[in-house]
């Protein structure tokens, strides 16, 4: 599968490469052996307050076509092969980047795009994928390495690993609904995961799975995920950047696609020629702000959808971590 091959790949900036070679921007002793001991997070509750429920979603069999307007445009590192994006409050994000030998976990400032801290993954063969912070722990998937990683939020130290049920399983996107992690693997399957059991056992604890369908047709290539107001928003990965760059909204209970958003025209033609595909969704629940970006994109956008995202009631209202 050629999903991760990128003929436009560029060498990261010298400064970041040096930082990652040491493993951390702000904390040089960032990595621990894979067998390092780990503790359950002090809290499995999310860190961002719940959004207010609005009008319930209408007929889940009806697909809402969203339009959008750009509210703000912010700088984004053009050397970042974005795989995961999470808003953590105070105009700050966690971002994970992929590519062999260059994968990283970063803390990024919204206004400037500045990287406050960053760590490598402790093994050049690891290909970083989606992330989700819960309590004191950041969960990170890897693509084809048959495992995921645990990082400590306070210092970005690598505290351990967890294995996938089958080594053929791939890690793509990840989000958190306030109770369970939700994971995509490149197919039309979404897996719902018990985070506490995964952390304590070192094995991915899948509670249930749902098949995602778009008007009855399996919807594969689900990449970066974000849980927003009771539904899942997923980037649909495309093998070429000149194909439509879309996001689908998914009902977590049935797996039905209930919304569609085309973001193909966010970048100018010149910017799009130098960048790669859309990937990266983050939601600020307190401020009701939606952010999107992509691989090697020069910008991170705050966008406003029309119609507004309504509260989808198939899952209880929870806050987003």
State residue 107's pLDDT score. Answer: 99
State residue 95's pLDDT score. Answer: 99
Alpha helices in the chain (DSSP H): 14-22, 195-201, 269-274
Q: What is the Rg, in whole angstroms, of the alpha carbon atoms belonging to the chain?
A: 18
State residue 62's pLDDT score. Answer: 85
Average pLDDT over residues 216-222: 96
State residue 281's pLDDT score. Answer: 98
Residue 20 confidence (pLDDT) above 60 = no
Q: Which of 53-62, 130-139, 177-186 has the lowest mean pLDDT?
A: 53-62
State residue 312's pLDDT score. Answer: 58
Report the percentage of the chain scoring pLDDT > 90. 74
Spatial separation of the C-alpha atoms in residues 193 and 189, rounded to whole Å: 13
State residue 242's pLDDT score. Answer: 83
Q: List, for residues 228-279, the tens digit of each pLDDT value.
A: 999 999 999 988 888 899 999 999 999 999 999 999 999 999 999 999 999 9
Q: Which of 76-85, 96-105, 234-243 has the lowest mean pLDDT?
A: 234-243
Nearest CA to 247 among 83, 239, 255, 238? 238
State residue 240's pLDDT score. Answer: 82
Q: List, for residues 44-59, the tens digit of each pLDDT value.
A: 434 333 343 333 444 5
The model's confidence at residue 106, banded by pLDDT at 50, 70 and 90, is very high
SS3 295: coil
Residue 127 confidence (pLDDT) above 60 = yes
Q: Which domains does the chain have, with CATH numbers?
A: 14-306 (2.40.128.630)
Calculate the average pLDDT of the chain. 84
What contacts 53, CB < 8 A, 6 or more positions away?
Answer: 229, 311, 313, 317
What is the model's pTM? 0.80
């Amino acid at each position: 599968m050629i999903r991760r091959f990128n003929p436009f790949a560029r060498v990261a900036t010298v400064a970041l490469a040096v930082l990652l070679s040491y493993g951390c921007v702000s904390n040089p002793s960032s990595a621990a052996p894979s067998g390092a001991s780990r503790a359950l997070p002090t809290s499995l509750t999310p860190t961002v307050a719940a959004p207010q429920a609005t009008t319930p979603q209408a007929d889940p069999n009806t697909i809402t076509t969203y339009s959008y307007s750009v509210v703000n445009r912010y700088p984004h590192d053009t050397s970042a092969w974005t795989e995961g994006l999470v808003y953590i409050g105070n105009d700050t994000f966690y971002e994970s980047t992929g590519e062999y030998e260059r994968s990283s976990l970063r803390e990024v400032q919204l206004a400037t795009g500045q990287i406050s801290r960053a760590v490598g993954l402790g093994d050049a063969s690891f290909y970083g994928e989606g992330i989700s912070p819960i309590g004191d722990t950041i969960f990170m998937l890897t693509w084809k390495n048959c495992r995921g990683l645990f990082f400590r939020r306070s210092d970005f130290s690598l505290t351990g690993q967890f294995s996938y049920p089958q080594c053929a399983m791939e890690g793509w996107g990840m989000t958190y609904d306030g109770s369970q992690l939700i994971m995509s693997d490149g197919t039309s399957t979404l897996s719902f995961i018990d985070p506490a059991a995964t952390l304590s056992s070192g094995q991915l604890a899948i509670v249930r799975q749902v098949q995602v369908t778009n008007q009855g047709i399996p919807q594969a290539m689900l990449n970066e995920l974000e849980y927003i107001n009771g539904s899942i928003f997923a980037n649909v990965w495309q093998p070429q950047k000149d194909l439509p760059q879309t996001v689908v909204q998914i009902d977590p209970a049935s797996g039905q696609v209930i919304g569609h958003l085309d973001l193909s025209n966010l970048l100018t033609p010149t910017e799009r020629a130098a960048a790669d595909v859309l990937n990266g969704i983050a939601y600020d629940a307190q401020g009701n702000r939606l952010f999107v970006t992509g691989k090697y994109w020069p910008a991170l956008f705050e966008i406003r959808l029309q119609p507004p995202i309504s509260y989808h009631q198939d899952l209880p209202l929870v806050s987003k971590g």
